[in-house]
Amino acid sequence: MLVRYRKDYQKIALGLLSLVKDLRKDNRFMEEMDWALANDWPIFLWKDMDDSHFIGIVILEIGDCYVLVRRLSFTPSERSGHNIFSLLDGVHDQYPHKRLMGTLATQPIISMWEGNNE
């Protein structure tokens, strides 16, 4: 289930962002969070319905006709296609009239999700 980021989720969100390889190298995950918040980009956490733990995070950029998935991260034990596709389904449900797009890093996942939904 998608849950909109709140300030009291900051430690959880930073922990999930720290799992992104290019952010982990230089401990840039706090900068990434600040950048997203400064640009007013929506941040959602993904909550596991079985045990109510947060297992993923997505940072989005919303355009007139698109939703750009800027960052996507899951805990190592939860990186299954099912969880990723469920999160993307949730994002699509939030923005049903916009096309999901990805960055160079996230587009392959978006393409697999689109192929799964055809």
pLDDT value, residue 31: 86
The alpha-helical segments, DSSP class H, found in 9-106 are 10-17, 21-24, 29-38, 81-94
Task: Determine contact, residues 16/77, Cβ cutoff 8 Å.
Answer: no
pLDDT value, residue 39: 95
pLDDT value, residue 80: 72
Contacts of 33 by beta carbon, 8 Å cutoff, 6+ apart:
10, 13, 14, 17, 43
pLDDT value, residue 90: 96
Q: In the chain, which stretches have pLDDT less than 70? A: 26
pLDDT value, residue 20: 85
pLDDT value, residue 50: 83
* Domain covering 2-116 assigned CATH 3.40.50.300 in the classification: no
Rounded CA-CA distance 87/57 in Å is 9
